[in-house]
Amino acid sequence: MAKPRVFITRVILEKGLGLIRDFCDMDLWIDGLPPPRQVLLERVRGVDGLLCLLTDPIDGEAMDAAGPQLKVISNHAVGFDNIAVAEATRRGIPVGNTPGILTDATADLTFALLMAAARRVVEAERFVRAGLWKTWSPALLLGADVAGATLGLVGFGRIGQAVAKRATGFGMRILYHDPSAGPLPGIPAERTDLETLLKESDFVSLHVPLNSGTRHLMNGRNFSLMKPTAILVNTARGQVVDPVALHAALKEKRIFAAALDVSDPEPLPMDSPLLELENLIILPHIGSASRTSRERMSLMAAENLIAGLKGERLPNCVNPEVYRV
């Protein structure tokens, strides 16, 4: 019997890729950069399944290009803002994602960024390498205290809660804003409105999905509510922060610093004014980039893909309403 045809938009880790290779007739895009739009539209033609990354916009046009036989779209990410899920649902196509397995890796990186920004680790390292370190000095590179500070979590889902658990070890006061998440047993976190959180927090960390309600949530008004000593951490999605407002807030020292794993756009162009700022740390979207997490992501994405091809329910489906007939 002919194997189902699939297009995989990038080389993922072998754990998942091996499964797909065994089960499918696999067309694999081996370039390090995402397939250009036209190439994507051509390569999806006639496939039964598509495994894509957060860098691949999968909209109605891409689904039409694939054709009516398309049975499943599997995203190699927990976030799925790159996929027009409503369009997929309308066509009865289940969409898979990879929740849970990258929670700890992303929470660890959030904390690494929080601490690096607080204690100016990246700036201090640059200082040494530039040959500027002449002596120990009482006021050299003074930063913010982490222990006992107030942490405001915007979004209190899996990753926000995992960051809260880490923060308790530092004796932090924890506030969270999330209309849909309740308290977490054993974690003394207080629920607040966004305004109170922004006004009272020493660290504001973003953990919301990107959607029409969260795009540019951190805008000029919301930056103006933050303390001048506060630090913004974003490991969610770049577009949750308005980059122009962020630049102004950092440049005019309306906040102390920002530490980002994600940006708008990605990658940040080399002539972005944000890259000129000393009080900004920027990483290339590596929140889930631990060996175990990426292995598990590849496996989970492959399992979602294969389940969809077999006509089985996806183990992790973002639009389960496709199964309600």
Active centre residues (catalytic): 237, 266, 285
Region near ligand DGY per CB under 6 A, out of 71-79, 251-259, 300-308, 316-324: 71-79
* Bond preceding residue 265 cis, omega within 30 of 0: yes
Region near ligand DGY per CB under 6 A, out of 76-84, 170-178, 187-195, 216-224: 76-84
**Are the CB atoms for 93 and 63 separated by under 8 Å?**
yes
111 versus 256: smaller Cβ distance to ligand DGY: 111
Q: How far is the CB of 20 from ligand DGY (least distance, A)?
A: 18
Q: How far is the CB of 263 from ligand DGY (least distance, A)?
A: 12
102 versus 246: smaller Cβ distance to ligand DGY: 102
Q: Which of 57, 79, 92, 157 binds ligand DGY (CB under 6 A)?
A: 79
| Whole-angstrom distance, CA of residue 22 vs CA of residue 69 | 21
- Please report the beta strands in 101-197, taking only residues with DSSP state E, as ranges in sequence order: 150-154, 173-177, 189-191
**Are the CB atoms for 187 and 174 separated by under 8 Å?**
yes
| Whole-angstrom distance, CA of residue 7 vs CA of residue 25 | 9
Q: Which of 287, 308, 316, 322 binds ligand DGY (CB under 6 A)?
A: 287
Q: Which of 24, 52, 62, 78 binds ligand DGY (CB under 6 A)?
A: 78
Write the DSSP string, 129-145: HTT---S--TTTT----
In the numeric block, which tokens belong to residue 280? 């900004």
Compute how many other C-beta atoms are within 10 angstroms of the C-beta atom of residue 191. 15
The residue type at 105: A
Binding mask 17-56 for ligand DGY (x = CB under 6 A): -------------------------------------x--
Q: How far is the CB of 77 from ligand DGY (least distance, A)?
A: 3
Is residue 77 close enough to count as binding ligand DGY by CB under 6 A?
A: yes
102 versus 122: smaller Cβ distance to ligand DGY: 102
**Are the CB atoms for 230 and 182 separated by under 8 Å?**
no
Q: Which of 40, 63, 65, 102 binds ligand DGY (CB under 6 A)?
A: 102
Compute how many other C-beta atoms are within 10 angstroms of the C-beta atom of residue 163. 29
Residue with tokens 């607080």: 118
* Number of chain residues interacting with ligand DGY (CB under 6 A): 7
Region near ligand DGY per CB under 6 A, out of 4-12, 73-81, 126-134, 212-220: 73-81
**Considering only residues 132-171, where is the footprint of ligand DGY by CB under 6 A?**
none
**Considering only residues 219-238, where is the footprint of ligand DGY by CB under 6 A?**
none
Backbone angles phi, psi at 174, to 5 degrees: -115, 125
222 versus 288: smaller Cβ distance to ligand DGY: 288
Is residue 208 close enough to count as binding ligand DGY by CB under 6 A?
A: no
CB-based burial of residue 14 (10 Å sphere; 0-12 exposed, 13-18 middle, 19+ buried)?
exposed
CA distances from 45 to 32, 64, 76, 112, 269 (A): 22, 9, 20, 42, 32
Q: How far is the CB of 45 from ligand DGY (least distance, A)?
A: 27
Q: Which of 18, 67, 8, 23 is nearest to 309 (CA)?
A: 23
Q: How far is the CB of 15 from ligand DGY (least distance, A)?
A: 15
Helix (H, G, I), strand (E, B) or coil at 94: coil
Region near ligand DGY per CB under 6 A, out of 24-32, 75-83, 133-141, 157-165: 75-83
Residue 197 backbone zone (phi > 0: left; psi -120 to 50: alpha; other: beta): alpha
230 versus 260: smaller Cβ distance to ligand DGY: 260
Q: Which of 103, 263, 288, 319 binds ligand DGY (CB under 6 A)?
A: 288
Residues that bind ligand DGY (CB under 6 A): 54, 77-79, 102, 287-288
